[in-house]
Amino acid sequence: MGDPSVEPGILERGFILAMRQAFEQAVNLRPVKLYPGVATPIAGLTPERCDLVIVRENTEGAYVGQGSTIHANTPNTVAIQESVNTRQGIERVVEYSFKLAMNRRKKLTLCHKKNILIEAGKLWQDVVNSVATRYPEVNVDYVHVDAMCFHLPVAPEKFDVVVTDNLFGDIITDLGAVIQGGLGVAASGNLNLDGSAPSMFEAIHGSAPDIAGKGWANPVGAILSAAMMLAHLGEKAAGAGN
């Protein structure tokens, strides 16, 4: 699936997005954790300061794969790309995020761009406000996605659980991977929340055929993804390496 001869978009839209939607993998879960002994490009960053989880909505937003082009290949070409946000889709990922925060440091941050994406941003904020009433112990705040790109490398300790939309989550989790030492150590889970279909766990970088056979590939991301899978299946001791 990762063969470089495959035209861009076929793998992503024809397989990855289709699978996430068909299996109702509502949550893309990406821990950002700096492990002892792992080098990070952030000067002075220690593992004690970098331990957060980004919860990315995984089936909607700009990645629904809907759009159109009219007057193609002319000076009047118009490209329309749709972003879809439903209350149901947002509620399930926000509810999951609050439950996760309850089992961590009881802090949840909504990351969006609601000063520009007003309609989508308002819906996300309304859902967070509504769900927050059921979790009074959780401290809730908000950060614009552009501000997140500043705060995350400078002070990752500000965050515990970050919930965000599909596109923003795709971007800031790659930034998080760099902070924790690179794509080679970054794990992820695509979670079906009600058990109606499989979940999937993978290193976030996908395949790397361009470096095949060179001995550069880092297996840590795949190993940590397998540990996430074990914990998801109820084998928490095995997932923790015990």
Catalytic residue check, 63: yes
Structure token pair of residue 40: 């990070």
Q: Does the annotation count 126 as an active-site position?
A: no
Q: Which of 63, 96, 160, 165 is catalytic?
A: 63
CA 61 to chain centre: 13
106 is catalytic: no
Phi, psi of 68 (to 5 degrees): -155, 160
The single residue listed with the structure tokens 């930034």 is 175
| Catalytic site residue from 51, 96, 113, 165 | 113
Among 122, 126, 141, 146, the active-site one is 146
The CA R_g of the chain, rounded to the nearest whole Å, is 18
Q: How far is CA 31 from the centre of its chain?
A: 9
Q: Assess contact for 93 and 27: CB atoms under 8 A.
A: yes
Q: Any catalytic annotation for residue 141?
A: no
Q: What is the distance between the alpha carbons of residues 135 and 3, in angstroms, rounded to a whole number?
A: 45
Q: Which residues are catalytic?
A: 63, 113, 146, 170, 174
